[in-house]
Amino acid sequence: MIYFDNAATTKPLDSAVKAAVDAMSAEGFGNPSSLHGLGLSASQKVSAARKVIAGSIGASPEEIYFTSGATEADNTAVIGAAMSNGKRRRQIVTTSVEHPAVAEPIRRLEAQGFEVVRVSPREGGYFADDIVNAVSKETCLVSCMAVNNETGSVLPIEEAFRRIKKQYPDTLTHCDAVQCYMKLPVKVKSLNADMISLSGHKVHAPKGIGALYIRKGVHIASLISGGGQERGFRSGTESVPLIAAFGAAVGELCGSLDERFAYVSELSALLRSRVSALGIAVNSPADGSPYVNSIAVPGLRSEVLLHFLEQKEIYVSSGSACSKGKKSSVLSEFGVPDKLADFTIRVSFCAENTADEIEALIAALKEAQDTLQKVR
């Protein structure tokens, strides 16, 4: 099997699987809230993972809240920020290319009367000026992703957030860093984000776990009330196995960011030069994340090509996995012509991929071009 769908999900590391299994074993299965030794041992696993996740972004452990994934983290950040704002400022600034986990809760707030400004890319990319200029004293929240999940485009969040926080210190900034985390540096100090969303299953931990960083001193409304876990902010018995696995995966990966980035950059450069030679268009920008490569094979519809590759046990995605075949507006926002969007597949890497796997993909793409019926 050749797995090129790492932006959709990644294979859990052995260390993550082991941590999850240990936390379900006879010695590890306790409830972290229980006062006996079994509870203490579970609570220590949660604390250890929290410390690792916090350290990986330069935060302190008290600033990390575990969630069921980035979707919950994004919803909490967006709705929690809007709810805590009262009736004072009613404007939200975001981009037109956000993942639905951010775009949909913002749409709900819009239906409730919030004014939403959606900043579009220009010339195929984002300019910090455009994001900053959209903000006003009416803005309660700016929510922008760091790396786009469909194209790998890197947004100028650091500069935009720095300037916004300087001009409007009370405006909250939120970054969906899901496609950036453990791939490019995500550091709270330089990012100037009050809130950052992270997902476990994109970084070789299991699905169903994520985290929301909330900068110390920032107060947003909590969405889940109950037994008061996560310092009263996110109730519900902690999923110790998933939290421990998240901590184990990040602990293993966080020391090798630069090394993996350099390696994956080589893979991406190889893929892009080889496909260009076949007349295949590269939608992703040259300065985007090398982990996400959006390409379009003129004449071969995405779904047809995806299933052709699948028969050869090569797994890619058609655009974004979350859009489940629905036509994505993100590609057209980034200036990909409609006639190419229908032919787009996403080839997304992790550091376990190899140059040989890319050669196998190239051979399969060539075969597809030669044999499949062309749709024009």
Binding site for ligand PLP (CB under 6 A): 69-71, 74, 99, 101, 145, 149, 176, 178-179, 199, 201, 210, 322
Q: How far apart are CA 332 and CA 203, in angstroms?
A: 28
In order of 72, 94, 110, 241, the CA distances from 210 in angstroms are: 8, 21, 26, 13
Between 31 and 332, name the residue whose CB sits nearer to ligand PLP.
332
Q: Which residue has the closest beta carbon to ligand PLP?
A: 69
Nearest distance in Å: CB 76, ligand PLP: 12
Give first-to-last CA distance, the chain, whole Å.
Answer: 31
Of residues 358, 347, 273, the one with CA closest to residue 315: 347
Identity of the residue, 74 or 194, whose beta carbon is nearer to ligand PLP in the bound complex: 74
- Tally of residues, the chain: 376
Which amino acid is located at 34 in the chain? S
Per DSSP bridges, beta strands 210-214 and 195-199 are antiparallel
Please tell me which residue in 140, 144, 254, 322 is annotated as part of the active site: 322
Cβ at position 7, least distance to ligand PLP in Å: 6
Q: Tokens for 49, please give them.
A: 């993972």
Select 201 or 234, whichever has its Cβ closest to ligand PLP.
201
Q: Which of 289, 272, 299, 291 is nearest to 362 (CA)?
A: 272
Q: What is the dihedral of CA 329, 335, 338, 342, to 10 degrees?
A: -70
Residue 66 or 168: which CB sits closer to ligand PLP?
A: 66
- Looking at beta carbons only, is 43 or 328 nearer to ligand PLP? 328
CA-to-CA distance for 313 and 167, rounded, in angstroms?
52
DSSP character string of 284-300: S-TTS-TTEEEEE-TTS
322 is catalytic: yes
Residues marked active site are found at: 322
